[in-house]
């Protein structure tokens, strides 16, 4: 029966990777395979296990207990993501990201590479690589009319955003998963991955700056034709500060990260409600007395949260949890360790794999496969590989997929023009990580 679980997972995975070909949302196969896999475990009365965090080995348990255990772990990630996404949407409600436009003042094509790369690298570390990519491409559209030139910048933004998300616990879904699973801590993650992530950004940007396409200057479109909304800068600082405060809250209270994110969301929502000047009409009938003049910013923000993505994460994480609960992932890890002597090659293969298939299930599987303790260099390398490896193909990351949709980037154009740049950055960053690990050991 365990083979049936693997078959269901593989079939579901194939349908997920064919999302754009089949033209249906990947949440459908993810939720389907999750339900079917847990149904097989229940109906076949398979033995289930959880990991003993002290002994680092499997221990038998009951079906209901293991199901609730994995759902609880998954819910922590989902609630955290919903909070972060809502804060970002509240900032956008007040047009907070318009302040970033003022940082783009040069008309030199080469200098613009570095402006967008630096913005993408650091912005993604705070608000996640997907959102950072959307914001920067939106700014890019107001700056450059030439679509052929714009897709080059958009592609480099994807590389920078993915690298920037790798060294921050809140910069990428996969890194957040490792952080919430207590595999990495904020300080050590930054210590091990900041320099490799910088290298993974600098190498492609530096090489690209010598390409003929980036010679000369652009005919800039006026960036400030729209007057920023009132309180936009304040809400940007408050929202980003609230997200950055989450790791600090976790360190001070030792509570799970989603608790800190909910606290930050509450503070941001409070100020959003106050600053939006919600008023009550005293001339309406009694039953409409408390009806607000306009929509609440928090309600508006929640309506724009990417719920299909949240449901996809639910499906894929719980599907991987089903494999973990019957011990399959641990057996696979033992086989890998016995077959490939160099664990670094195993982790780098995850990076190449994340360019082809979604990195969320890859990291979820790795969490279930390995039992190394918190801040083991293995987890840091997995975070780097899964985050930056996805840049090697346009479909290899959420940031790449959204850039592909916004700018109509052709898969084979990216493969020919950009993939080699991302590959060099990935290899150089991996080498830097190995050297830093040797120095810190």
Closest by Cα among 212, 213, 123, 109 to 160:
123
Q: Minimum mean pLDDT among 7-16, 207-216, 219-228: which range?
A: 219-228
Buried b (16+ CB within 10 A) or exposed e, 44-54: eebebbbbeee
pLDDT over 70 for what percent of the chain?
88
Domain ranges of the chain: 65-266+298-440
Q: Is the pLDDT of residue 222 over 50?
A: no
Report yes or no: 356 and 390 within 8 Å, Cβ to Cβ.
Answer: no
The size of the chain, in residues, is 441
Report yes or no: 120 and 160 within 8 Å, Cβ to Cβ: yes
User: 338: exposed, middle or buried (C-beta count within 10 Å: 0-12, 13-18, 19+)?
Assistant: exposed
Q: Summarize pLDDT for 357-409 with one digit per residue, the tens.
A: 667 777 877 887 787 888 899 999 999 998 899 899 887 787 887 788 778 88
pLDDT at 381: 93
Q: Which residues contact 322 (CB under 8 A, 6 or more apart)?
A: 5, 9, 34, 37, 38, 41, 70
Lowest mean pLDDT among 7-16, 49-58, 140-149: 49-58
**What mean pLDDT comes out for the span 271-289?**
61
Mean pLDDT of 101-128: 85
CA–CA distance, 24 with 135 (Å, rounded to integer): 26
What average pLDDT does the segment 12-16 reach? 82
pLDDT of residue 36: 95
Best mean pLDDT range from 11-25, 102-116, 270-284, 377-391? 377-391
**Per the structure block, which two tokens stand in for 25?**
């949302």
Check: CB of residue 124 under 8 Å from CB of residue 110.
no
């Amino acid at each position: 029966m365990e083979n049936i679980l693997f078959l269901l997972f593989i079939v579901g995975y194939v349908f997920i990777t064919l999302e754009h070909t089949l033209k249906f949302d990947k949440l459908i196969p993810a939720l389907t395979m999750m339900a079917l896999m847990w149904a097989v475990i229940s109906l076949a009365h398979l033995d289930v296990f959880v990991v003993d965090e002290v002994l680092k080995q499997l221990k038998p348990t009951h079906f209901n207990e293991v199901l609730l255990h994995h759902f609880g772990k998954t819910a922590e990630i989902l609630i955290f993501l919903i909070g972060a996404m809502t804060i970002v949407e509240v900032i956008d409600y007040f047009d907070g990201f318009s302040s970033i436009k003022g940082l783009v003042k040069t008309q030199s094509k080469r200098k613009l590479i570095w402006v967008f790369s630096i913005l993408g690298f650091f912005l993604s570390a705070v608000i996640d690589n997907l959102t950072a990519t959307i914001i920067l491409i939106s700014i890019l559209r107001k700056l450059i009319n030439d679509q052929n030139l714009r897709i080059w910048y958009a592609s480099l933004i994807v590389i920078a955003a993915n690298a920037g998300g790798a060294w921050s616990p809140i910069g990428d879904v996969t890194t957040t998963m490792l952080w919430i699973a207590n595999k990495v801590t904020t300080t050590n993650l930054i210590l091990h991955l900041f320099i490799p992530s910088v290298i993974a950004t600098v190498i492609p940007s530096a090489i690209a700056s010598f390409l003929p396409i980036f010679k000369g200057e652009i005919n800039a479109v006026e960036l400030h034709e729209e007057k920023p909304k009132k309180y936009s800068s304040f809400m940007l600082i408050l929202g980003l500060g609230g997200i950055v405060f989450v790791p600090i809250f976790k360190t001070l209270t030792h509570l799970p990260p989603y608790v800190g994110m909910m606290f930050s969301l509450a503070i941001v929502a409070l100020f959003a409600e106050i600053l939006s000047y919600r008023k009550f009409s005293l001339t309406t009938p009694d039953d409409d007395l408390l009806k607000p003049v306009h929509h609440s910013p928090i309600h508006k923000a929640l309506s724009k949260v990417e719920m299909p993505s949240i449901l996809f994460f639910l499906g894929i994480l719980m599907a991987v949890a089903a494999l973990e609960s019957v011990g399959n992932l641990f057996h696979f890890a033992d086989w890998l360790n016995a077959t490939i002597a160099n664990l670094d090659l195993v982790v780098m293969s995850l990076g190449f794999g994340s360019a082809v298939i979604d990195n969320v299930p890859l990291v979820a599987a790795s969490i279930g496969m390995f039992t190394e303790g918190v801040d083991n260099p293995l987890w840091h390398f997995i975070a780097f590989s899964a985050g930056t490896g996805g840049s090697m193909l346009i479909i290899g990351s959420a940031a790449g997929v959204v850039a592909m949709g916004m700018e109509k980037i052709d898969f084979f154009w990216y493969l020919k023009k950009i993939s080699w740049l991302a590959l060099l950055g990935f290899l150089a960053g991996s080498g830097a990580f190995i050297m830093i690990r040797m120095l810190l050991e």
